[in-house]
Amino acid sequence: MGKSIILKKVSFGFITGSISLVIDSLVGLAILPLLLRFLPKDIAGLWVFFMSFTGIVLLGQAGLAPVVIRLSAEIKERKEKSEFYHNIWSNITHSFLFATFLVLLICTVLYFSYIKTVLIKNNFLVEGTYCWIFLSLGNALRIYGIKYLHVINGLGEVGWDKVVKILVSITTLLGYYIVLKMNWGFKALGLSFLVSSVLFYICSWFLFERFNNQLFIKRIGKPVISQLKYFFKESGKILVLSLTSFFVMQSDIFIIERLAGLKIIPYYSGLSRIVYITIAVSSLATQLIYPFIAQKFAARDFNSLRKLYYRNVLVSVCIGIAIALPSLLLAPYIVPLWLGKGGYLGSPLFGLMLLLGVIYAHHNAHASSIIATGATTFMGAAICNAFLSLSFAIIGGIKFGMIGIVTGNIIGTVIPSIYVVTWSLRFIKKLK
């Protein structure tokens, strides 16, 4: 694939990705005040609490995304020369069927081990249970449908997944507004999410049909066990990375629920939403460049790979800082207008949250680039990150409150990140 074509595709991906981030961010920012306007604070907090589980629920795809993207890129470059060529679609389908089952299993375990207790505690068992069932089905459908988007990303058609995300985000917000405005009840919020998941599946399937061009033969036969083992051997390592990111970026919600209850969660979640936007925008380059790094590595074009790697890291960090600093300065004035008087939890806390976001974006830029080559997945560092972040966050939360939780996450992230960055730089320099 020529440089001009790559540039054109990445540019399209960047534009659609930027629009998607703006829309997704506006939707996320709009939902919180809507919840606080139409629902009691504790019930609004319960919805945010539910949605905080999305990260761990989506771990049900077991890290398959980078593996499918990388193998799709390999097949586009090598076609029949790839050992996966003839059975790729069957293996992908069976892998995501298993992932879908795993999502439903995770949702069931979460409900009976944790969520049911919270619902009983807040005297909201029936409505909350129905809502959780709809959310579970919606997440399962999204997992099964997202395989189509992973494949077209691997083929180099980056950005179209963002088009789907834009459409689904707008539909989701509209559905939430109608449900809240018409006072249809808490469970209807979950049903609205399920409807948007159906739309997501249909759009993903349509795009795959549009860009496949017969490269992937949609023949579903008996899976090749040895290749499936490879899928899950690789994705299992990436699962650990995903689990790490969940612990670093989401565990604070659950610790706060235990220490302070549901009512404060919408306000903390508002600041978390801004941090998420910072990470998402700064990581956009990483997402777009990932399949092209995989293609360059498969073609043994290491000089071009190195340029993409360094550019990825530089852009990610610069964008993160450029968003974090103005956000910190404007937050004392903007957040109270957004979430109401008393909705801003303070600059010291928010500053630490933004710092964690920039550190994570920098860490992710290095790690994802190496994962795209298939060289390693940093599983040991990820396990260390998860353990340290969760441990320090709990200790910090008990002793110092919310500031202690975020500080604990920062400490738990920086220590393994030093290893990841050092290893990545050495690997890139040695490629010949």
Contact 267/343 with Cβ under 8 angstroms?
A: yes
Per-residue pLDDT of the chain (432 residues; tens, 9 = 90+): 555 666 677 777 778 877 887 787 788 778 888 888 888 888 888 888 888 777 666 666 656 777 788 777 777 766 655 555 567 777 888 888 888 888 888 889 889 988 898 889 888 899 999 999 999 999 999 989 988 888 888 777 778 888 898 999 899 999 999 999 999 888 999 999 999 999 999 999 999 888 876 666 565 666 667 666 766 666 666 666 666 666 666 677 778 877 777 778 888 888 888 898 888 888 877 877 777 888 788 778 888 888 888 888 898 999 999 999 999 999 999 988 888 888 888 899 999 999 999 998 999 899 888 888 878 778 788 888 878 888 898 899 888 888 998 999 899 889 989 999 999 999 988 887
pTM: 0.68
- Report the amino acid identity of residue 262: L
| Amino acid in position 18 | S
Rounded CA-CA distance 156/141 in Å is 24
What the block records as the tokens of 412 is 């738990």
Locate 432 and state its tokens: 């010949």
Q: What sign does the dihedral 290-292-298-302 (CA atoms) show? A: negative
- Output b/e per residue, 107-146; b: 16+ Cβ within 10 A: beebbeeebeebbeebebeebbebbbbbbbbbbbbbbbbb
Distance of alpha carbon 157 from alpha carbon 100, whole angstroms: 25
Q: Please report where in the chains the tokens 């979640």 appear, as a residue.
A: 269
Tell me how far apart the alpha carbons of residues 49 and 70 are, in angstroms, rounded to a whole number. 34
Q: What is the pLDDT of residue 179?
A: 93
Domain residue spans of the chain: 3-430
Q: Which of 66, 62, 89 is nearest to 223 (CA)?
A: 89
d(CA 345, CA 126): 32
Dihedral in degrees, nearest 10, Cα atoms 280, 282, 288, 290: -100
3-38 helix and 41-52 helix, angle to the nearest 10 degrees: 150
pLDDT at 209: 84
Nearest to 101 by CA among 72, 137, 65: 137
- Please answer whether residues 61 and 96 qualify as being in contact, where contact means their C-beta atoms are separated by less than 8 angstroms: yes
Please write down the HEC assignment for all residues of the chain: CCHHHHHHHHHHHHHHHHHHHHHHHHHHHHHHHHHHHHCCHHHHHHHHHHHHCHHHHHHHHCCHHHHHHHHHHHHHHHHHHCCCHHHHHHHHHHHHHHHHHHHHHHHHHHHHHHHHHHHHHCCCHHHHHHHHHHHHHHHHHHHHHHHHHHHHHHCCCCCHHHHHHHHHHHHHHHHHHHHHHCCCCHHHHHHHHHHHHHHHHHHHHHHHHHHCCCCCCCCCCCCCHHHHHHHHHHHHHHHHHHHHHHHHHHHHHHHHHHHHCCCCHHHHHHHHHHHHHHHHHHCHHHHHHHHHHHHHHHCCCHHHHHHHHHHHHHHHHHHHHHHHHHHHHHHHHHHHHHHCCCCCCCHHHHHHHHHHHHHHHHHHHHHHHHHHHCCCCCHHHHHHHHHHHHHHHHHHHHHHCHHHHHHHHHHHHHHHHHHHHHHHHHHHHHCC
Asked if 278 and 57 count as a contact pair (C-beta separation under 8 A), the reply is no
pLDDT score of 103: 85
**Torsion, Cα of 246, 251, 252, 256 (10° steps):** 150
Q: C-alpha 330: how far from its chain's center?
A: 26
The whole-number pLDDT of residue 12 equals: 79
| pLDDT, position 59 | 64
Angle at 398 between CA 396 and CA 401, to 5 degrees: 70
